[in-house]
Structure formats: structure tokens, C-alpha cells
Structure 1
Amino acid sequence: MVEKTTGSGFRPAARLIDVVNAVRADPGISRAALAELLARHGEEPADLTEAAFSPDDAAGLRAAAERLAAVLTETDADRAAPALNALLAECGARPRLVRHDTGPWHLHVDRGDDASWADWFTASSALALAQILTEYGRVPWGQCAAAGCARRYLGTGPGAARRFCSPACANRTRVAEHRRRRRRE
């Protein structure tokens, strides 16, 4: 779950969270399901046909999501930053401004238009997390603290740092803790 924010890294980070959670929920998620998810995050349908986004591309994207999931469990900025730097260095490209048709200009750090889906996803996600880390000065992402839930979240809203992916997980945990305390009494 992603909170609304005005930060520049929000949209790619929201896509990252959704893709990571989808892949973690179903490691064999189909190419079609990934394409549908990417379309919901603004990718062009023409770029998501089986010819443009093949089953091999989907496999690469699933692997990239698993690698990025590990960064999303890092809670310390001093460890998250080097992990993000390593991903950005691996992408091996310089930032460039890109515009699709008449859309707004935005930053890409992948190897160019011939970059694989996995490279694009890794580069754009690492850049988004790096922007968010610098904007907030802390790690505003994590893995849900609720028992039995491993969903990743992005907590960029106001207030204290989040521990849960959703109000439902937070409430379920609080109720369970309350019941445990009452049984002990």
C-alpha cells in the first residue's frame, strides 16, 4: 500500500511496491498479469503486447522485483543508500530526460530505449527510492510488521514512521496485543 505524496519518486515507487507485492504473492505471476499491472501504472498498452513484453521479459521483471524486494526490507538509511547505489551502478547509464509522445519530461537512468524490462524496472525503481530517501532523510518503506504478512509498503505521509502495510494489519495486530494483555490479567 502506498500513501499519496507529492514527491517526485512517488509514481515509480508505487509501481515498485505493487509489482514487488504481486511477485511475492505469486512468484510465477503471468506475463499477462504483469502487463495488466504495468498498464494500471501508466505503461502504454502497445508496449505491453506479447511481442513487446515477452514471457522472457516478464521473467526478468519478476527477478528484478525479487532483488528490489530485499532493498525494501532495509530500515537503516546508511545501509539502504549503498544498496541503492549498487543497483544504480549496475544499471551503468547516465540520467537522461525522456518524453513519451506529448507526456511530461521525466528522468530515465536505464541504458536507453533498447534496455530490457528488468534493467528499466531496476533503474527506475532504484532512482525513485533514492529520490524518496533524500527527500525524507529516512527510509520510509519497509515490510509489514503484522504476523503472517510480508507485504512491502511505502509510508511517505506525514507523522511517525509506519510499521504496517495497511490499517487492517495495524488494527489486527493491536487487537491481538490487547487480547493477549487481557488474558494475562
Structure 2
Amino acid sequence: MKDETLPRRGFRPAERLIELANAVRADPGLPRGALAELLARHGESPEDLTEQAFSPDDAVRLRAAAARLAALLAESDTDLAAHAINALLAECGARPHLSRHGGHAWHLHVDRGEDADWADWFLASGALALAQILTEYGRVPWGECASARCGTLYLGTGPGSARRYCSTACATRERVAAHRRRKRAGG
């Protein structure tokens, strides 16, 4: 019998990481309410996102954690990224454990437990997600869009060759611009 209280899909910490990192890069002072909405879209419960449970001070620390992880997401060297991930996991006292709370399916936690604050939780879960992705692909499949007009962080875990752009729109815009430059230079 299927348990209807469980989500249809599991947690997607890497997607949450990318979205939060991009949001904080776009607005370093992203309000607490906007952070709470983003976290809610990624499965955090409303009770955990009240102002008492997720305070303005928590929002400040979470934005700082997102900025730290955004810098890691811009790292293209696999060895440097692996060392940075290991340092974050060590800093967060990451000890993996399975957790099931708030009606969610079993999922992996790597923070200090119930005493972990939002920033510690986000750093630990983000580092774990990136560690899992790096080991699965054997390289850094994330990055910063190569378009000079963009700079959005992306996660390139889909099929095909390694990505350089956050979207087909940016890739197409850059190809068209390069074609026009070649055409002007040749004629």
C-alpha cells in the first residue's frame, strides 16, 4: 500500500542549492520571507519556516552560507572542488545519518543534528549533494554560465557532453554572436 503522506519525489538538495545560490547572488540582501518561500518550494515545512523557527538572523547566516557555496559552484577544477567540499564537510561536523521527519521519506542528513542552525544545515547538505554528484560524474558537472552577459550558476547533470551555459538561450545567443563576429571579420 502506498503511503500518500510521502512526497512523490525525494529531496533534491542540489537543485535547492543552485536555486538558493543564484537567488542570493542576484540579491545579496534577499529578504527572510523570500528565502522561506524558496525553502518551502524545496520541501521544508511551514512550521520550520515561521519567523520563530527561521529568524532574520538565521536568514543572514543562510545567505552567507549560500554565498560560500556559490563560490564553490563557480569552481571548475575537480581537485580544488573536491578539497573545498571535504573542508566544508569537516567544518560542519558532517556525520551522515538517515532522517524521516515531517511526513517526508527517509533522506540523508549530514548536519550536527537537531541543534544545527540553518546555515550549518545548508552548508552540510549542499556539500554532501556536490560530493555525491562529483563522485557520480568523476568531474565537476556544475559551473557558472560562460556567457559574458549571464553568470548564472547551473548544474549540468543531464545527458550529453559537459555544459558551458546555463540554458539553451545563452548558448544560442553566444553562438549567434560568434557567427556574426566571424562574418564581420571575414567580410
Greater shift in the superposed pair: 140-149 or 94-103: 94-103
SS in 2 for 1:58: helix
Question: Match for residue 124 of structure 2?
Answer: 123
CA deviation after TM superposition for structure 1 residue 10, in Å: 7.5
> Root-mean-square deviation (CA), in Å?
1.2
1:163 aligned onto 2:155: no
1:136 equivalent to 2:137? Answer yes
State the shift of 1:46 in Å. Answer: 1.1
Q: Is the 8 A contact 2:98 2:108 kept in 1?
A: yes
Q: How many residues get paired?
A: 177
Structure 1: where are the runs of 5+ without partners?
Answer: 1-8
Deviates more, 1:41-50 or 1:9-18: 9-18
Q: Which runs of 4+ in 1 moved over 6 A?
A: none
Identity %: 75
Which SS does the other structure have where 2:132 is aligned?
helix
The separation in 1 between residues aligned to 2:55 and 2:11, in whole angstroms, is: 27
- TM-score normalised by structure 2 residue count: 0.92
Larger Rg computed on CA atoms: 2
Q: Deviations over 1:4-31 (max 9, x none)?
A: xxxxx98100000000000000000000
Q: Which runs of 5+ in 2 are unaligned?
A: 1-9
Q: CA-to-partner distance for each residue in 1:48-88, whole Å, 9 max, x for gaps?
A: 11111111000001000111111111112111111000000
1:99 paired with 2:100, answer yes
Structure number with the bigger relative contact order (C-alpha 8 A, sep ≥ 6) is 1
Work out the CA distance in 2 between the residues paired with 1:30 and 1:57. 11
Q: Which residue number in structure 1 is paired with residue 154 of structure 2? A: 153
